[in-house]
């Protein structure tokens, strides 16, 4: 199954206060909650792009196909896109979205659970589901997934474990496993 385009789940909020993440020249609106949700951050970014007339400089639905270093040019980087356009830039930032593709820990026995389709990776998580109340499951959680763990723990079966060290013993006791990014 292909991963979703984003790992953002329904109740996700930022993990830092908005004054820290705002652009200095463009603060968030005063009524913004200290830790805004994804929709408010998106609105902020759209407003920022509009305020500074950036939209004409943003290329949507275009994949970068090549980046070539060209030190003899005034602008050092040649960028080519899937839309057959070329651009020259002084600076390149690579933002590869590595959290989009699920990674699983190397745990003996985990592949059996994957084959039985009883493993859910956090990249697919969107909201607590009724199955969480009905069947015990194990949450394998790292720091970024602590919020998901707290949300799910409010609706889980009483015998669910959250979080615990990964071990073969823990895998044997559970009906479902939720694996972090």
Confidence of residue 147 (pLDDT cuts 50, 70, 90): low
Q: What is the mean pLDDT of residues 112-131?
A: 77
C-alpha span between 117 and 100 (Å, rounded): 19
Closest to 102 measured CA to CA, from 9, 180, 12: 180
C-alpha span between 22 and 30 (Å, rounded): 12
Q: What is the mean pLDDT of residues 2-15?
A: 81
- What lies within 8 Å, CB to CB, of 61 at 6+ separation is 83
Range of 53-62, 70-79, 144-153, 158-167 with top mean pLDDT? 53-62
Q: Which stretches of the chain are DSSP H helices?
A: 18-21, 38-51, 110-115, 131-134, 146-153, 168-173
Confidence of residue 97 (pLDDT cuts 50, 70, 90): low
The answer on pLDDT for 173 being more than 60 is no
pLDDT at residue 21 in the model: 93
Domain ranges of the chain: 1-58, 59-101, 110-179
pLDDT at residue 161 in the model: 52
The answer on pLDDT for 167 being more than 50 is no
Query: Model's pTM, two decimal places?
Result: 0.65
pLDDT, one tens digit per residue, over 22-74 is: 999 999 999 999 999 989 999 999 999 999 999 998 888 888 999 999 877 67
What length is written for the chain?
Answer: 181
| Cβ pair 180, 122 in contact under 8 A | yes
Closest to 176 measured CA to CA, from 165, 54, 48, 159: 159
The answer on pLDDT for 19 being more than 70 is yes
Which of 46 and 9 is assigned the larger pLDDT? 46
Question: For the chain, what percent of residues have pLDDT higher than 90?
Answer: 30
The answer on pLDDT for 170 being more than 70 is no
The answer on pLDDT for 124 being more than 70 is yes
């Amino acid at each position: 199954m292909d991963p979703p385009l984003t790992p953002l789940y329904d109740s996700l909020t930022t993990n830092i206060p908005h004054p820290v993440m705002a652009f200095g020249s463009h603060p968030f609106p005063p009524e913004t909650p200290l830790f805004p949700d994804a929709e408010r951050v998106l609105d902020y970014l759209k407003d920022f792009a509009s305020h500074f007339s950036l939209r004409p400089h943003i290329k949507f639905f275009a994949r970068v196909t090549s980046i070539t270093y060209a030190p003899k040019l005034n602008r050092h980087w040649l960028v080519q896109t899937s839309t057959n356009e070329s651009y020259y830039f002084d600076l390149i930032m690579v933002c590869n979205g590595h959290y989009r593709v699920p990674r699983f820990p190397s745990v003996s026995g985990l592949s059996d659970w994957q084959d039985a389709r009883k493993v859910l990776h956090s990249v697919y998580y969107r909201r607590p589901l009724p199955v969480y109340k009905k069947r015990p499951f194990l949450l394998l959680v790292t720091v970024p997934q602590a919020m998901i763990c707290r949300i799910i723990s409010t609706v889980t079966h009483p015998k669910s474990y959250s979080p615990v060290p990964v071990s073969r013993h823990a895998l044997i006791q559970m009906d479902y496993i939720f694996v972090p990014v």
